[in-house]
């Protein structure tokens, strides 16, 4: 009688002769033999031998399985020399794929989640990495500045720089900057008061101003300044501040854990020394809005659509700064790159200022001075970099309110959003901000969260295995004050445990709620609606936490990996066709879809397949990760659950479909932010629409 293993090898031989693919053959064996089925690796090995023409089903003593390692249930690994970055060809891949080494390290390594800690400079991505240099926005220096002393803010002219600008007498004046037309428009318009002349210095009493200096030959200098007016700060009486810790959120868009190490090495070294990292922090959505709003509201995008959607002003979003403000905290929000700001890109912004200090008018006025772009973003806004402007107002806010509770969000896009290397130009500037003496002394009672929303989402690096991993793993670091550690030792102990656990933006929201509750005994913290089972970082998160329990769709989950298989596999092709059909259906569901072309599958760029698992219907299934190219040319990535039956296949999306190429130029014919991600404008249809719509008001 044949052994079970021999029987399966015989069956594999016949399945190959029946022209079944490796994927189909493995699925059939798994369904028939269950837990006695040969491993994924063994099936592949025997299937490959059949492909090479081998007839016998006896084990070749010269070809044992001793060269395979199966110690990791999530990845297939091959023995390689220690400390060497390894490549192996698995399945029928047309190019080498990097896999884990024998000495693989992990960001976190729990019973249900292993996230690899890979070399940020591995050979798969090293060709995409280069150093960008910092560039000054003016070679003459800043002619004006603000200093504060004894409760007074003074605007000053730097007289030592005047000879660099002109040898003629100079006259300067300043104007206040106001929001205007924000009721019906997108909060992009500003106006200025009459320009008030001053000589060398003048006391100011308004937070946002524009300065202009002229000689007989005309204007020689213009700049904007923002400051917290000292007499508006509220100093608490002794004892009133007890346990009321300030919150400072400082974010840089589109930087992964790996790219932080590549592009900001000096900053990274400072963070390792002075901050605490959440090593298992995993994003929950595609772009900035879902990930940042999960932090600020605890809700997912479906829940936000009810009262906080793109068709209305966003003052009713129940953002957590409203609660901080109601409980006596001074609040602030600043974000550079006004055109793509979180609450303004394809959205209507705010009606009333959402925070006590709302810096958008200052940012808009700064960009109006003149933009100097780098990689499509406003690197320079007038004579200062956009990023340094945000760092400066964040430091000013922290220092101004060091003795009273405050909540601030300061977000930067200008030196990170559109190029994976441009953050390297700002490494020293980021370090200057974090290491500034006045800033460090101002955060003794402040929890600082320095973080990003996701990794880099577009371009060639995104088609690599490393790019897949790091796009889902943004960096995040915490400064926890010593006073908090002394006052709440058990909460701090839990936080340290959670640095090695799977965490999400929803956990950050719950943590902010806990900060409010710890500082106000009568307040009962809310919990995230987007993830009812999520935790505060001051509670111990279970070691066995899964992505599903943390409200992370499988498409974004980095806890379980996949084995790369042939893009030409027949099942992979069926999965890819399913994805294209879904995209076309999604596009057709929008009112604006008439300007968008229908997609057809061009090719599968890469494909991965998980180990089998049981779904909610108790069926043996797999998930496939595919990157596809369509016609017209667009690149998409999707995670699909597949039931591979003897008589039928069943496919189901596990989360969003990612667009991994740059699409702004190809989706300009539509306005909806979601549709833009999937639309490819049909030139002929778009031309007809532009001609007909003005006539029939479509």
Does the pLDDT value for residue 332 go beyond 90?
yes
Does the pLDDT value for residue 58 go beyond 80?
no
Q: What's the confidence (pLDDT) of residue 8?
A: 72
Does the pLDDT value for residue 50 go beyond 80?
no
Q: What's the confidence (pLDDT) of residue 551?
A: 97
Mean pLDDT of 278-293: 97
Mean pLDDT of 658-686: 87
Q: What's the confidence (pLDDT) of residue 184?
A: 75
Q: Please report which confidence band the pLDDT of residue 48 belongs to, taking 50, 70 and 90 as the band edges.
A: low
Task: Give me 555's structure tokens.
Answer: 């498409």
More confident position, 240 or 548: 548
Q: What's the confidence (pLDDT) of residue 47?
A: 66
Q: Please report which confidence band the pLDDT of residue 151 belongs to, taking 50, 70 and 90 as the band edges.
A: confident
More confident position, 490 or 243: 490
Q: What's the confidence (pLDDT) of residue 17?
A: 65
Domain boundaries, given as residue ranges, for the chain? 4-128, 563-696
Q: What's the confidence (pLDDT) of residue 60?
A: 47
CATH of domain 563-696: 3.10.450
Does the pLDDT value for residue 447 go beyond 60?
yes
What tens digit of pLDDT does each residue of 464-478 get?
999 999 999 999 999
More confident position, 185 or 395: 395
Does the pLDDT value for residue 479 go beyond 50?
yes
Burial 370-391 (b: 16+ CB within 10 A, else e): ebeebeebbbbbbbbbbbbbbb
Q: What's the confidence (pLDDT) of residue 181?
A: 83
* CB neighbours of residue 365 within 10 Å: 25
- CB under 8 Å to 417, separation ≥6 — which residues? 253, 254, 337, 340, 377
Mean pLDDT of 14-26: 69
Q: Please report which confidence band the pLDDT of residue 99 belongs to, taking 50, 70 and 90 as the band edges.
A: very low
Q: Left, alpha or beta for 518 (phi > 0: left; psi -120 to 50: alpha)?
A: alpha
- List the single range of 90-104, 292-306, 463-477, 588-602 with lowest mean pLDDT: 90-104
Q: What share of the chain is helix, strand, coil (3-state, %, to 5)?
A: 35, 25, 45
Does the pLDDT value for residue 625 go beyond 90?
yes
Q: Please report which confidence band the pLDDT of residue 312 belongs to, taking 50, 70 and 90 as the band edges.
A: confident
Q: Please report which confidence band the pLDDT of residue 599 belongs to, taking 50, 70 and 90 as the band edges.
A: very high
Mean pLDDT of 361-386: 97
- CB under 8 Å to 319, separation ≥6 — which residues? 296, 297, 354
Does the pLDDT value for residue 125 go beyond 60?
yes
Mean pLDDT of 513-539: 95
Q: What's the confidence (pLDDT) of residue 672?
A: 87
Q: What's the confidence (pLDDT) of residue 75?
A: 32
What tens digit of pLDDT does each residue of 183-197 get?
877 789 999 999 999
Q: What's the confidence (pLDDT) of residue 72?
A: 31
Mean pLDDT of 148-154: 89
In contact, 323 and 520? CB cutoff 8 Å: no
Q: What's the confidence (pLDDT) of residue 90?
A: 25
In angstroms, the CA 567 to CA 61 distance is: 32
Averaged pLDDT of the chain: 87
Cα Rg of the chain, angstroms: 28
What tens digit of pLDDT does each residue of 337-351 get?
999 999 998 889 999
Burial of 242 (0-12, 13-18, 19+ CB in 10 A): exposed
Q: What's the confidence (pLDDT) of residue 110?
A: 96
Q: Please report which confidence band the pLDDT of residue 378 belongs to, taking 50, 70 and 90 as the band edges.
A: very high
Q: Is 655 helix (H, G, I), strand (E, B) or coil?
A: coil
Q: Please report which confidence band the pLDDT of residue 92 belongs to, taking 50, 70 and 90 as the band edges.
A: very low
The H-or-E segment that residue 100 falls in is none
Beta bridge partners of 412: 252
**CA dist 290 → 15, 301, 305, 575, 678 (Å):** 45, 6, 11, 27, 17
Percentage of the chain lying above the pLDDT 90 cut = 71
Q: Please report which confidence band the pLDDT of residue 562 belongs to, taking 50, 70 and 90 as the band edges.
A: confident
- List the single range of 1-10, 139-148, 397-406 with lowest mean pLDDT: 1-10
Q: Please report which confidence band the pLDDT of residue 198 belongs to, taking 50, 70 and 90 as the band edges.
A: very high
Q: What's the confidence (pLDDT) of residue 234?
A: 58
More confident position, 37 or 161: 161
The residue among 111, 330, 360, 110 whose CA lies nearest residue 228 is 330
Percentage of the chain lying above the pLDDT 70 cut = 83
Mean pLDDT of 316-332: 96
pTM of the predicted protein model: 0.85
Q: What's the confidence (pLDDT) of residue 691?
A: 52
Does the pLDDT value for residue 303 go beyond 60?
yes
In angstroms, the CA 374 to CA 380 distance is: 8
Mean pLDDT of 42-65: 56
Mean pLDDT of 7-21: 70
């Amino acid at each position: 009688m044949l052994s079970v293993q021999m029987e399966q090898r015989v069956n594999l031989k016949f399945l190959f002769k029946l022209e079944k693919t490796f994927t189909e053959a493995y699925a059939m064996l798994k369904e028939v033999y269950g837990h006695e089925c040969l491993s994924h690796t063994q099936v592949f090995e025997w299937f490959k031998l059949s492909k090479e023409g081998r007839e016998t089903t006896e084990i070749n003593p010269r070809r044992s399985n001793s060269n395979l390692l199966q110690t990791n249930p999530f990845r297939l690994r091959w023995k390689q020399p220690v400390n060497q970055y390894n490549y192996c060809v698995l399945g029928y891949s047309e190019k080498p794929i990097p896999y884990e080494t024998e000495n693989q390290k992990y960001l976190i390594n729990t019973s249900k989640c292993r996230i690899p800690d890979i070399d940020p400079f591995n050979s798969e991505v090293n060709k995409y990495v280069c150093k960008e240099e910092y560039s000054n926005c003016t070679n003459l220096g800043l002619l004006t500045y603000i200093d504060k002393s004894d409760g007074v803010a003074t605007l000053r002219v730097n007289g030592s720089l005047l000879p660099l600008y002109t040898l003629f007498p100079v006259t300067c004046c300043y104007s206040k900057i106001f929001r205007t037309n924000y009721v019906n428009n997108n909060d992009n318009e500003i106006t200025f008061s009459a320009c008030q002349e001053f000589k060398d210095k003048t006391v100011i009493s308004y937070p946002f101003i524009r300065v202009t200096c002229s000689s007989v030959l005309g204007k020689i200098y213009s700049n904007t300044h923002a400051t917290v007016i000292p007499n508006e700060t509220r100093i608490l009486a002794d004892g009133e501040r007890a346990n009321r810790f300030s919150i400072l959120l400082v974010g840089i868009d589109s930087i992964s854990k790996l790219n932080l190490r590549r592009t900001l090495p000096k900053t990274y070294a400072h963070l390792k020394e002075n901050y605490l990292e959440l090593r298992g922090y995993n994003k929950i959505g595609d772009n900035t809005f879902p990930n940042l709003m999960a932090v600020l509201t605890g809700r997912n995008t479906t829940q936000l659509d009810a009262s906080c959607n793109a068709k209305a002003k966003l003052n009713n979003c129940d953002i957590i700064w409203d609660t901080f403000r109601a409980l006596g905290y001074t609040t602030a929000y600043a974000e550079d790159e006004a055109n793509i700001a979180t609450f303004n890109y394809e959205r209507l912004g705010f009606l009333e200022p959402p925070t006590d200090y709302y810096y958008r008018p200052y940012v808009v006025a700064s960009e109006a001075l003149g933009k100097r772009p780098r990689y499509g973003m406003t690197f320079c806004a007038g004579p200062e970099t956009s990023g340094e402007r945000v760092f400066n107002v964040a430091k000013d806010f922290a220092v101004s309110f060091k003795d009273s509770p405050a909540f601030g969000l300061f977000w930067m896009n200008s030196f990170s959003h559109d190029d994976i290397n441009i953050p390297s130009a700002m490494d020293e500037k980021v370090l200057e901000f974090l290491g500034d003496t006045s800033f460090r002394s101002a955060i003794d009672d402040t929890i600082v969260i320095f973080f990003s929303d996701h990794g880099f989402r577009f371009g060639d690096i995104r088609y690599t295995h490393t790019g897949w991993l790091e796009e889902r793993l943004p960096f995040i670091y915490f400064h926890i004050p010593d006073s908090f550690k002394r006052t709440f030792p058990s909460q701090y102990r839990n936080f340290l445990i959670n640095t090695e656990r799977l965490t999400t933006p929803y956990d950050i929201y719950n943590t902010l709620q806990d900060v409010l509750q710890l500082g106000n005994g009568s307040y009962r913290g809310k919990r995230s609606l987007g993830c009812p089972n999520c935790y505060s970082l001051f509670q111990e998160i279970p070691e066995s936490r899964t992505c599903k329990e943390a409200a992370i769709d499988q498409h974004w989950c980095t806890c379980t990996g996949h084995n790369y298989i042939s893009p030409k596999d027949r099942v992979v092709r069926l999965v890819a066709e399913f994805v294209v059909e879904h995209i076309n259906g999604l596009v057709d569901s929008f009112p604006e879809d008439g300007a968008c072309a229908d997609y057809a599958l061009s090719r599968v760029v890469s494909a991965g397949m998980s180990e089998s698992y049981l779904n909610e219907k108790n069926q043996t299934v797999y998930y496939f990760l595919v990157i596809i190219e369509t016609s017209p040319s667009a690149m998409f990535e999707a995670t699909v659950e597949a039931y591979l039956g003897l008589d039928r296949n069943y496919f189901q999306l596990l989360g969003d479909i990612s667009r991994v190429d740059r699409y702004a130029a190809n989706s300009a014919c539509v306005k909806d932010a979601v549709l833009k991600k999937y639309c490819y404008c049909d030139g002929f249809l778009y031309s007809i629409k532009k001609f007909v719509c003005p006539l029939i008001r479509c």
